[in-house]
Chains A and B, each alone.
Chain A
Amino acid sequence: MEKTFTFDRPDPCNAFIKICENITYGEGPLSGISVGIKDNISTSGIETTCGSHILQGYIPPYNAHVVTLLRSAGAAIVGKTNMDEFGMGTTTETSSFGPTKNPVDPTRAPGGSSGGSAAAVRSGLVRLALGTDTGGSVRCPASFCGIVGLKPTYGRVSRYGLIAYANSMEQIGPMAANVRDCALLYSVIAGYDPRDGTSVDKPAPAPVSPVIAGKKIGVPAEYFGEGVDPAVAETVTEAIEKLADLGAEIVPCTMPSMKYALAAYYVTSMSEASSNLGRYDGVRYGMAPEMVQPWHEAFSAIRRSGFGEEVRRRILLGSFALSAGYQGKYYAKAQAARQMVRDDFARLFAEVDIIAGPTMPTVAFRLGEAADPLSMYLADILTVPANLAGIPAISVPCGEAHDLPVGLQLMGRHFAEDEILSAALAYEEGSA
């Protein structure tokens, strides 16, 4: 039996690009629970724009795998949440539909790129939301808005229907106000999907319970180094001490590959993006070109006017990094650096169960503060290693700095989501 869900709340933070009418839901573990879906996840019959003018008017004829799972779990899909255009940003300010404001402090950005999902959860518009995390896009806004966000292991959640930014690194991840809700949403979306060639067939997630005692937690020095706000570092250090109080063993360690991680991430993601975004040419969907034009001129015109500045920048840089004569210098080197990051994690996880540090080096930016792209890219330094290596990582609120939320990041071994969720739960509930 389908039931109707009524949603009539105002959205002062601009968390949603689209709020659905005639919301229905069915039976299941999420029956009647309101869920927001990031606008780069395909929803059959509901406009899906990726926060970009170029996709305005595009109504997918099919559901992403996760949306099918949510529907059959009984979720009430409330709407599509705001995001940086195609996920390219750390503030949700590059959206073609205006920035989202941070519900904690409306003069601040919510982080990004899943800023709409984080703001919707934080302001109580929905109980759960889906974000996507290519280089930290679930964890950053979770940290800045003071909620929980999980980036699953690469291959754990089907990407079928997720509109690609950087395929080799991104995952759809659950966002919620607390760890138990986050784990609930995770348990619904995790699982094998034969339509995603990179999906991995693993047993269903186990129910979480607070477990931290006896676990070895590695704390890399690099996560507290240059560029990390000392107030943030202090808050996170206290959180890690609390984990020790709960019975965890803290193991100081180092991750030398960190110095290459950001470059490896940006070269890889921009290269993949330059290819993924080639299809937006106005022929099949989205903005339509002027009729009488040679095709290449029509393509150029559409892409020039349809994409925002940051997207165009990344397409150009990515095309350059892949081009003949430069590929060896950039794309190939980035892959070598990526392997170093994987090797570092493999070495560390031979000794520890979890790696902990801050999610973001700072608290939420002021709206408009991050005008310089390079300083924006630098903010991703602590989140991108997990994407490069494909390991799961969670951000859980751990107090404040400058009166703004700070997130504790816990990273685990491949497919050890249960372990980091359990540790996060132990932290959140203060028991183990």
Chain B
Amino acid sequence: MTVIIGLEIHCQLNTATKLFCGCSTDYRDDGPNTHVCPVCLGLPGSLPVTNRQAVIYALKVAKALHCEVPEVSEFARKNYFYPDLAKAYQITQYDKPLALGGYVDIEGEDGREKRVELTRIHMEEDPGRLVHMGSGDRGRYTLVDYNRSGIPLIEIVTEPQLSSPKEARRFLNKLRATLEYLGIYDSEREGSLRVDANISIKGYERVEVKNITSYKGVEKALTFEITRQKGMIRRNAQIVRETRHYQEARGVTTSARSKELEHDYRYFPEPDLALMRVSSWVDEIALPELPDARRDRFMKQYGVSLNHARTLTGDLGLAEFFEEIVGDSPEIAAPWTADILLGELNYRDMPVSKVPVQEYRELLDEAGSGRITDTSAVEILRLILNQVMEGSDPEKPGAIISRLGLAKESGESFREIVATVLADNDAAVSDHRAGKNGAINFLVGQVMKATRGKADPKEIREIIDDLLKE
């Protein structure tokens, strides 16, 4: 059963002001309805004026994603009633979007580069936000906050060319990185990237899943939905074309009562705004180095492997961090940062921006100099990260090494411990002698445990062989 996925990604542009008025977009720490004016409240008689910066940001994305920008594009009204929609229409774009086509290259399911084509990119305004108050299923009453009303969005629509939740995640990671590199998007802002997905099994009806508010939820939502659809096909149940909501907390999709969403949006050109003729602006837009170019440069400049380069450039903050700490030892910095540090950060849900550069750099030097073992280095890293998490000043790696006595000691000082381990593990010793793979690793592990990681596994292995020869 072939899976077909297309995505619609809504991204808030981090302009200083809203799309059609001068209200500040920086509302997240402020009270409700404090960033509003007659325009974004939809007061009678107010008129929209397009924010030039928002158009430039959207064009930046269009250029970076290789889209075509038509000579003329147009805003349109999408009419529907909802309490968070101040004018009872959303100003969006319909049949004349800002940009057409374009693509994003990702690592495909088979490990090879895969090109995901885009249908279009258009601009639109965000509606306000409902806050349900009181207890009960949907609350006893609902308040409306229009701070978000009029925040500029771009909607990026892909062709149905993704074939698995994993590819969808890779696509979103790549897209998110690109948007971050362009400096038009703030991933730290809650709800700044929202995804709708169209999912079908080849030969069956497609289902739209809405309300995926975090890009991390996408893989889970898609996996659930695909499992659901495949299950229905196996049971010979009919998949109906419908819209489903993703319930983030439960990790499931549920059918939206179809009536609620049977909208006829009555699109027509927005009469309050003139046609946009901005294709000539594209040439003047300078693009920064984008993830692919940076990845290639990392491979060339630092001799980093493709996988490491991909990981290190997959997030703007990580890429900048890496260049800050790499020094002249990329062969140590790359695997440490891409494999070990990133894992530790993900485990703690900690942004790379919190990692103390000085201490991390020093730790890499210690690990590189051979003064401590890798095991000890990881232990030190965890200690430092935990200290940052707790809000205390991180200790210097050097200080930790002396405090905990983690300096690597020469193998000879462990000869006695090795002898004890060998004496205590007859079975493993015989296995090893009988040529069984793995037995030696067990023995080394036992020694490492007994030395609290201060020993160098390679040396220990040599000592074991040496002792067994005797």
Distance of A272 Cα from B76 Cα, bound (Å): 12
Q: Is the interface of A mostly helix, strand, loop or mixed?
A: loop
Contact yes or no, A160 B45, CB < 8 A: yes
Distance of A62 Cα from B272 Cα, bound (Å): 19
The 8 Å CB contact of A162, one of B45, B141, B144, is: B45
Minimum C-beta distance from B148 to chain A (A): 15
Q: Write out the residue numbers on chain A whose beta carbons fall within 8 Å of the beta carbon of B41.
A: 284
Contact yes or no, B44 A296, CB < 8 A: no
Is B43's CB within 8 Å of the partner chain A? yes
The 8 Å CB contact of B43, one of A61, A167, A197, A272, is: A61
Contact yes or no, B81 A197, CB < 8 A: no
Distance of A55 Cα from B43 Cα, bound (Å): 11
Given A62-B38, A295-B83, A322-B266, check contact A272 B271 (CB 8 Å): yes
Contact yes or no, A284 B45, CB < 8 A: no
Q: Write out the residue numbers on chain B whose beta carbons fall within 8 Å of the beta carbon of A281.
A: 81, 83, 88
Q: Which of B44, B77, B271 has the most CB of A within 10 A?
A: B44
Residue on B with the closest CB to A271?
B268
Is A24's CB within 8 Å of the partner chain B? no
Given A55-B44, A278-B79, check contact A197 B268 (CB 8 Å): no
Residue on B with the closest CB to A161?
B45
Is A266's CB within 8 Å of the partner chain B? no
Distance of A349 Cα from B378 Cα, bound (Å): 83
Is A323's CB within 8 Å of the partner chain B? yes
Is B430's CB within 8 Å of the partner chain A? no
Is B47's CB within 8 Å of the partner chain A? yes
Q: Write out the residue numbers on chain A whose beta carbons fall within 8 Å of the beta carbon of B50.
A: 197
Q: Which of B127-141 contact A (CB under 8 A)?
A: 141
B interface residues, how many (CB within 8 angstroms): 31
The 8 Å CB contact of A278, one of B45, B87, B142, B273, is: B87
Q: Is the interface of B mostly helix, strand, loop or mixed?
A: loop
Residue on A with the closest CB to B42?
A279
Interface string of A271-289 (1 = CB under 8 A from B): 1101100110101110000
Distance of A331 Cα from B268 Cα, bound (Å): 9
Q: Write out the residue numbers on chain A whose beta carbons fall within 8 Å of the beta carbon of B49.
A: 194-197
Given A272-B271, A278-B81, A322-B79, check contact A160 B47 (CB 8 Å): yes
Minimum C-beta distance from A174 to chain B (A): 19
Contact yes or no, B81 A296, CB < 8 A: yes
Is B302's CB within 8 Å of the partner chain A? no
Is A387's CB within 8 Å of the partner chain B? no
Given A58-B44, A160-B47, check contact A167 B271 (CB 8 Å): yes
The 8 Å CB contact of B47, one of A197, A278, A319, is: A197
Minimum C-beta distance from B84 to chain A (A): 9
Q: Write out the residue numbers on chain A whose beta carbons fall within 8 Å of the beta carbon of B43.
A: 42, 60-62, 284-285
Residue on A with the closest CB to B84?
A283
Contact yes or no, A323 B266, CB < 8 A: yes
Q: Write out the residue numbers on chain B whose beta carbons fall within 8 Å of the beta carbon of A55.
A: 44
Is A198's CB within 8 Å of the partner chain B? yes
Distance of A247 Cα from B46 Cα, bound (Å): 45
Q: Which of A54-71 contact B (CB under 8 A)?
A: 55, 58, 60-62, 64
Minimum C-beta distance from A267 to chain B (A): 11
Is B48's CB within 8 Å of the partner chain A? yes
Distance of A190 Cα from B211 Cα, bound (Å): 47
Given A275-B79, A278-B89, check contact A160 B46 (CB 8 Å): yes
The 8 Å CB contact of A279, one of B47, B87, B142, B264, is: B87
Q: Write out the residue numbers on chain A whose beta carbons fall within 8 Å of the beta carbon of B42.
A: 279, 284
Q: Write out the residue numbers on chain B whose beta carbons fall within 8 Å of the beta carbon of A411.
A: none
Interface string of A249-292 (1 = CB under 8 A from B): 00000000000000000000001101100110101110000010
Residue on A with the closest CB to B130?
A295
Minimum C-beta distance from A59 to chain B (A): 11
Given A160-B46, A271-B268, check contact A61 B88 (CB 8 Å): no
Interface string of A176-202 (1 = CB under 8 A from B): 000000000000000000111110000
Distance of A285 Cα from B88 Cα, bound (Å): 14
Distance of A150 Cα from B83 Cα, bound (Å): 39
Contact yes or no, A167 B272, CB < 8 A: yes
Q: Write out the residue numbers on chain B whose beta carbons fall within 8 Å of the beta carbon of A40.
A: 45
Distance of A291 Cα from B274 Cα, bound (Å): 40
Distance of A61 Cα from B47 Cα, bound (Å): 15
Contact yes or no, A197 B48, CB < 8 A: yes
Is A324's CB within 8 Å of the partner chain B? yes
Is B172's CB within 8 Å of the partner chain A? no
Is A83's CB within 8 Å of the partner chain B? no
Is A130's CB within 8 Å of the partner chain B? no
Is B341's CB within 8 Å of the partner chain A? no
Is A48's CB within 8 Å of the partner chain B? yes
Residue on A with the closest CB to B272?
A167
Q: Write out the residue numbers on chain B whose beta carbons fall within 8 Å of the beta carbon of A272.
A: 268, 271
Contact yes or no, B264 A164, CB < 8 A: no
Distance of A166 Cα from B271 Cα, bound (Å): 9
Distance of A35 Cα from B42 Cα, bound (Å): 28
Is B151's CB within 8 Å of the partner chain A? no
Is A5's CB within 8 Å of the partner chain B? no
Residue on A with the closest CB to B273?
A197
Minimum C-beta distance from B438 to chain A (A): 66
Minimum C-beta distance from B101 to chain A (A): 26
Contact yes or no, A198 B274, CB < 8 A: yes
Given A167-B272, A322-B266, A323-B264, check contact A196 B47 (CB 8 Å): yes
Is A50's CB within 8 Å of the partner chain B? yes
Is A168's CB within 8 Å of the partner chain B? yes
Is A97's CB within 8 Å of the partner chain B? no
Distance of A60 Cα from B86 Cα, bound (Å): 16
Is A163's CB within 8 Å of the partner chain B? yes
Q: Write out the residue numbers on chain A whose beta carbons fall within 8 Å of the beta carbon of B89.
A: 275, 278
Is A159's CB within 8 Å of the partner chain B? yes
Residue on B with the closest CB to A193?
B47
Residue pairs across A and B with Cβ atoms less than 8 A apart, 17 shown, are A42-B44, A50-B44, A60-B38, A161-B45, A163-B44, A163-B45, A164-B44, A195-B49, A197-B272, A197-B273, A198-B272, A275-B89, A275-B266, A278-B87, A279-B87, A281-B81, A283-B83
Shortest 7 CB-CB distances between A and B: which pairs? A278-B88, A168-B271, A322-B266, A167-B271, A163-B44, A161-B45, A42-B45
Residues of B within 8 A of A (CB): 38, 41-50, 77, 79, 81-83, 86-89, 141-142, 144, 264, 266-268, 271-274
Identify 17 new A-B residue pairs, CB closer than 8 A, beyond the known A164-B272, A275-B268, A281-B88. Answer: A60-B43, A62-B38, A161-B46, A162-B45, A163-B44, A163-B45, A168-B271, A196-B47, A196-B49, A197-B47, A198-B273, A278-B81, A284-B43, A291-B141, A319-B266, A323-B264, A331-B268
